[in-house]
Amino acid sequence: MLGLDLKGKLALVAGVADDQGYGWAIAKALKKAGANVIITTWPPALNILRMSLERGKLDTNLGPEYGTLTFEKIYALDAMFDHMDDVPADVKTNKRYQELGDFTVRGLRDSIERDFGVDKLDIVVHSLANGPEVQKSLVDTSRAGYLAANSASAYSFVSIVRHLSPIMKKNGSFLALSYMAAEKVIPGYGGGMSSAKAALESDTRVLAFEVGRRHGHRINTISAGPLASRAAKAIGVIQNMISYCEQNAPLQDSLQAEDVGHTAAFLCSDLARGITGTLLYVDKGMHSMGMAVPTAYHVSPQHS
């Protein structure tokens, strides 16, 4: 039997704050496949996440065969910053950041190296995105808002790959999450987020070449359909996006977070060792459609 086996592998999922998003689903899938999982969360959400885990408020059930989802470590990470020297004074003195140590990308690398050693990390998943002006049309987005969206959602992946590649085990796997707005107009998905996703997809291809040649690691991205996670609700029109996809996609059942989780586990496994520089759609086929489907449209059953 051909099995998806991640036993003995160490995986990092960056950008997990609750049990509603794709990051959590990916962490669960990696754990069920046998991996040991580290997660990072945004510093202001760290204590809430830890308390929710301690009080059993999050869905940690992996099923009777697998037990409970546990994490090797939970680190604070603000991927807007590469080094502590980059952090503004008002952030350093913010009570939600104080006493966290080095919460930058370089700090994450140092923490992993200290806690696990070099050549131990096998898998890195980038589940980070933020656009402070996401509800604004692109034409109304400020320069600061546009650059912030691209820094948090696209350049953060470049930074994570650059900092973590040298301490990863050879033939490691990096994975990021994108969305169809990188290629097509999604009204309401503004603030420069569509630009950030387009940059992320382009960076996937370039990084796959550069990091593949330099370190032997693979770099891929999943273009996932819309999901009503807590973070996605900030968009404001997320339910409209989901309804549109359900009405127009080839497969009309709702996309589940675990659909993306399972695909992520495959891409990070040795079963996908020949795949790099690739954008893989997990959206019920919505990306293939070029025209909206009339409500009354149906496909007649085939008769022999």
User: What is the predicted pLDDT for the residue at 166?
Assistant: 97
Residue type, 26: I
- The arrangement of secondary structure in 10-288, i.e. its CATH architecture, is 3-Layer(aba) Sandwich (3.40)
User: What is the predicted pLDDT for the residue at 230?
Assistant: 64
Catalytic residue (choose from 75, 146, 155, 189):
189
User: What is the predicted pLDDT for the residue at 41?
Assistant: 97
Reported pTM:
0.94
Q: Which residues contact 98 (CB under 8 A, 6 or more apart)?
A: 92
What are the structure tokens assigned to 36, written together?
């040991």
Domain boundaries, the chain: 10-288
Task: Dump pLDDT digits (tens) for 115-160.
Answer: 999 999 999 999 999 999 999 999 999 999 999 999 999 999 999 9
User: What is the predicted pLDDT for the residue at 234?
Assistant: 65
Q: Please say whether the beta carbons of 221 and 177 come within 8 A.
A: yes
Across 172-208, b (16+ Cβ under 10 Å) vs e yields bbbbbbbbbbbeeebeebbbbbbbbbbbbbebbeebb
Say whether 244 is catalytic.
Answer: no
What 8-state DSSP symbol labels residue 153?
I
Give the separation between CA 126 and CA 4, rounded to whole angstroms. Answer: 21
User: What is the predicted pLDDT for the residue at 92?
Assistant: 94
**Ranges under pLDDT 50 in the chain:** none
Catalytic residue (choose from 22, 75, 155, 179):
179
Give the separation between CA 205 and CA 221, rounded to whole angstroms. Answer: 9
User: What is the predicted pLDDT for the residue at 22?
Assistant: 96
Say whether 179 is catalytic.
Answer: yes
DSSP string for residues in 33-48: TT-EEEEEE-GGGHHH
User: What is the predicted pLDDT for the residue at 233?
Assistant: 62
